[in-house]
Amino acid sequence: MENLHEGLTGKRELVVEEKHTAQHLGSGGVPVFATPMMVLAMEEAALNAVDHLLGPNQVTVGYHLDVKHLAATPLGMKVRAEAKLVKIDGKMLHFTVEAYDEKEKIGEGTHIRAIIDIAKFKEKLAKKTGTV
């Protein structure tokens, strides 16, 4: 965690395919880039900014997301999501996130990821499912 600092950035790029559309995912009736896929790209951008700098038994998980989907993106167009680490509050990492297609900004917002210890996380899951 000592490698983390404000200003770190990450990105995620993809080309919109049928599997990424609102129509395919059931989140809308039109063949354009789906909001859930934009959210996923933003989360992946944030993860890409920091997870490679964490300790061997640590990862981040999504905690909070507040985004606006500003514009539609058609099939075949490239999308780029970007995340910037703007605040470190203990194990909570605060990001600004944005997404762009080849023509314009299509999304913006904030995202918080929590640093977790993988072993402790698995232990909590085992207790929850009664497998301990």
- 1 inside domain: no
Residue 25 lies in a domain: yes
**Residue 2, in any domain of the structure:** no
Among the options 20, 69, 94, 111, which is catalytic?
69
User: Could you tell me if 111 and 42 are in contact, meaning their C-beta atoms sit under 8 angstroms apart?
Assistant: yes
Q: Residue 18 falls within a domain, yes or no?
A: yes
Residue 3 lies in a domain: no
> What pTM value is reported for the model?
0.94
Q: Count of domains in the chain?
A: 1
What pLDDT, in 10s, does the model give residues 68-122?
999 999 999 999 999 999 999 999 999 999 999 999 999 999 999 999 999 999 9
In a domain, 99, yes or no: yes
- Selected catalytic residue, list 21, 43, 73, 82: 43
Q: Which two tokens stand for residue 128?
A: 């929850």
**Known catalytic membership, residue 35:** yes
The answer to whether residue 17 sits within a structural domain is yes
Instruction: Show the domain range for 103.
Output: 9-129
CATH number of domain containing 62: 3.10.129.10
Coil, helix or strand at residue 46: helix
Residue 64 lies in a domain: yes
Catalytic position from the list 35, 96, 108, 110: 35
Instruction: Quick: pLDDT tens for 16-73.
Output: 999 999 999 999 899 999 999 999 999 999 999 999 999 999 999 999 999 999 999 9
DSSP string computed for 24-42: HHTS-SSSBB-HHHHHHHH
